[in-house]
Amino acid sequence: MTLTNKSRSRKPLVALMGEFSAGKSTLANLLLGEALSPIQATATQVPPILYRHGEAAAFRTRLDGTQEPLDPGDLRSATPGTTKMITIQAEADFLRACDLVDMPGTSDPNMPADTWDSLLPEVDCVLWCTPATQAWRQSEAALWERVAQPLRDRSLLVVTRMDKILTERDRLRVLRRVQQSVDGLFLDVLPAMLLPALKAADDPQVLEETGVSALIDRLAEVIDADAAARQQTVRLVEAAAQPLTRTEPSLVQDAPESGAGQEMRVMPRRVVMDGARTQRPRHEAGGRA
């Protein structure tokens, strides 16, 4: 499948990949600042979902390449049997800098093994999610080794679910082991606690502690480099210079919805989330990836 101009902007394409239930959708929601992606404990048989910047809308691309509108609340009606890809348009700031595609999880016995083969050539950077509790198994390693070297060199391994590893020492040991086994296969290995970050999405301190700030920084560097390389005009929002407007820790649910005077709330340094429009990810929605 190739992405037609109609569905693709010229922005860099970031792909979320990994085995099913590795945290891809949680990470998508975190990056987008909205619970746009369906999250489930079991394997979700959903075709690739492309997120791009624009007025809120959703449509699906049928197997024959034709498109039709889709009810965003009913993404499940678009199964891989009938749908090549789902496209979701949202005004998330993250999408100003790049397009994001959430790939179907690998190692799902109910999905053909090569659903993502055809999309991969268009991808500029992969965020491969691997859960800390069972990090980096052969079924992942073998797939990743088949990805072309230039793409691997621009891609990040995100060790998710770090919050399930209870001590600092153990977290470090898992990370060291993973770093050792993927030596040279990724640009970088980054630990992340996605759920705690999602629960407190606008608390910079939490974002720092959960590793999400570092992840976004690193991603921004990659995207910037990529964008520069393609002489893209689309840049990351220059919000980095803005002072952080919120510093006190607070749970999302408790946070007052921002009014007119506070349109821009700053996510760590470079990626801005629009507080007014964002439907905040709730705990239930982010139940499990």
- Give the shortest CB-102-to-another protein separation in angstroms: 17
Q: Which is nearer to another protein, 37 or 61 (CB)?
A: 37
Query: 244 Cβ partners below 8 Å, 6+ apart?
Result: 204, 266
The C-alpha atoms of residue 264 and residue 244 are separated, in whole angstroms, by 10
How many whole angstroms separate alpha carbon 32 and alpha carbon 171? 27
Amino acid at 30: L
CB nearer to another protein: pick between 68 and 114: 114
Tell me if 36 contacts another protein by CB under 8 A: no
Pairing of strands 272-274, 264-266: antiparallel
Query: In this structure, are residues 239 and 179 in contact, taking their beta carbons and an 8 Å threshold?
Result: no
Instruction: Name which of 98 and 127 has its Cβ closer to another protein.
Output: 127
- Judged by CB under 8 A, the chain residues 201 through 230 that form the site for another protein are none
Tokens standing for 235?
């840049």
Q: Which residue number, 134 or 245, has a Cβ lying nearer to another protein?
A: 134
User: Environment class of residue 278 by beta-carbon count within 10 Å: exposed (0-12), middle (13-18) or buried (19+)?
Assistant: buried
What does the H/E/C string look like for 144-171? HHCCCHHHHHCCEEEEECHHHCCCHHHH
- Among 105-113, 230-238, 240-248, 271-279, the segment contacting another protein (CB under 8 A): 105-113
**CB of 24 vs another protein, minimal distance in Å:** 12
* Residue 183 token pair: 């030596």
- 121 to 180, contacts with another protein by CB under 8 A? 131-139, 141-143, 145-146, 161, 163-166, 170, 173-174, 176-177, 180
Closer to another protein by Cβ: residue 26 or 61:
26
Site membership for another protein, residue 282 (CB under 8 A): no
**What's the min distance (Å) between Cβ of 284 and another protein?**
8
How far is the C-alpha of 174 from the C-alpha of 189, rounded, in Å?
11
Q: Return the SS3 of 119.
A: coil
Q: Is 1 in the site for another protein (CB under 8 A)?
A: no
Nearer Cβ to another protein (6/169): 169
Query: Which residues contact another protein by CB under 8 A?
Result: 19-22, 40-43, 107-110, 113, 131-139, 141-143, 145-146, 161, 163-166, 170, 173-174, 176-177, 180-181, 195, 283-284, 286-288
